Every structure is written in C-alpha cells, then in structure tokens.
Structure 1
C-alpha cells in the first residue's frame, strides 16, 4: 500500500513554511522532515516517518503558488543569508547565483525541491496538483 502525504502549497510563503508543511504532512503537528536541502534528501531516503518499504507519494497541491513563493526572490534571499558562511573559494560562485536569481534566472528553490524528491524518492513519489 502506498502512503500519500499532502502538502497544501497555497499556504507556503517561503522555505521555512515548506519545512513546516512537509514535516507536519509526514510526522504530524510539529513534525520534522528536514530543515535544509541535504537533510530533506536524507529524510526522503527513509527512517524519518516514511514507510520502510519506500512506498509513498508526496501530493503537492496548488504547487503553482508554492513555485511562486519558492521562486527567484526567495532563492536570492536564502543565498544572501548563506553568503557570509560560505568558504572563500565558493564566494564568487554564490555571488553569481545571487545575481542570477535577482535577475529572475537560474534554478529556484522550488525546482531544487522537486529535483530532490524525484531524484531521491523517484519520479513516481511526487504528484504536482
């Protein structure tokens, strides 16, 4: 049997909201299911609330609203927050990513989350509604 976790994308206003929603969808009120991209990928691999057999689906309702909220502006904001902590050898790359995001180009957090889900749990593990 496949378990379905539903995320209401209409209420997501930023990445912190996504972490709250996915945590609650999988593990109930106040639940945790990653609060960073690497931690999220780890959680998708199992042992953090999903079935042991790996048979689950994340149904992301109103994903278009989430795509806007997790778009270039939020991506640039998050990169700006990270910039002071990056290794000096990565600083120029992150600055370029910030400039691209501010210009409305390049990958977005929404796209990264979708990629993480489909690459880690498989394409059948995500339903965008």
Structure 2
C-alpha cells in the first residue's frame, strides 16, 4: 500500500488578491522560506526545494470558488496594469492586449494563471514528475 501524499492547504476565504495568495503560500505551503512572490517563483516552489515534501504533495485549495471570483477579471486587470509599469518595452503591446481582453471580461484570469501553473506539475502536465496533485474544494 502506497502512503498518501501530505496535504498542504490554502483557504480562498483568507485572501482576495494575487499578493494575498502569495501571503498564503508563504504561510501555509512554505512557512518561513524566502521566495520571489511572483508567478515564476510560485512555479519554482512546485518543483520542490523550498521545504515542500520531496515526493510531492496534494495542493488543497479550500474555498476555491471565492478565489475564482476574487481573482477574476478585476484582479487580472489590476495585475496587468502593474505588469505594464515594469515590463520590457518589447512586451508592452502584448500586455496591453491582455489588459484589453481582461477589461472585456475575456481570456484567462489570475485564478486561471495559478491553476495552469499548478496543473503543469500534476499528472499529465509537463512537469508531472514533481508529484503535485490539485484538490479544489
């Protein structure tokens, strides 16, 4: 019998922004670890080496429906405006297009970005060897 993987949890009722999600990751997934607090660094956490279990873990996202709403198009537009302030000039057009799409309530949201990153490390994903399982509750 195979031992079940440890469950690491975040609670969608405890944050309403991407920065709040990062706070939850720091508190619940990698307590005490220093990390970059951005999407690329979150992806790196799921690869391991930040104090997460070597065999992978179950990423439990409680109250994910609240997150889906809070990390929807308004938050996506806010994040894309922030990205515009610091992105390389060659990327401005692309970010502006993404922002226009978000303002029309089209395309992926911040919630979708995070789910896509997590699923990349799950069975069937490009980095499935990391052994992450996603549970949305």
Aligned to 1:86: 87
2:17/2:71 contact within 8 Å kept:
yes
Distance 1:44 1:78 in 2: 22
Aligned to 1:12: 15
1:79/1:94 contact within 8 Å kept:
yes
Q: Could you tell me the TM-score, scaled by structure 2's length?
A: 0.84
1:15/1:70 contact within 8 Å kept:
yes
Distance 2:35 2:88 in 1: 27
- Alpha carbons of structure 1 residues 57 and 69: separation in structure 2 relative to 1, 3 Å: same
Q: Please provide the CA RMSD for this pair.
A: 1.7
- Alpha carbons of structure 1 residues 34 and 89: separation in structure 2 relative to 1, 3 Å: closer
Distance 1:43 1:20 in 2: 14
Residue 84 of structure 1 deviates from its aligned partner by: 2.4
Q: Could you tell me the TM-score, scaled by structure 1's length?
A: 0.89
Which 5+ residue runs of structure 2 have no aligned equivalent?
Answer: 125-131
Q: What number of residue pairs does the alignment pair up? A: 127
Which 5+ residue runs of structure 1 have no aligned equivalent?
Answer: none
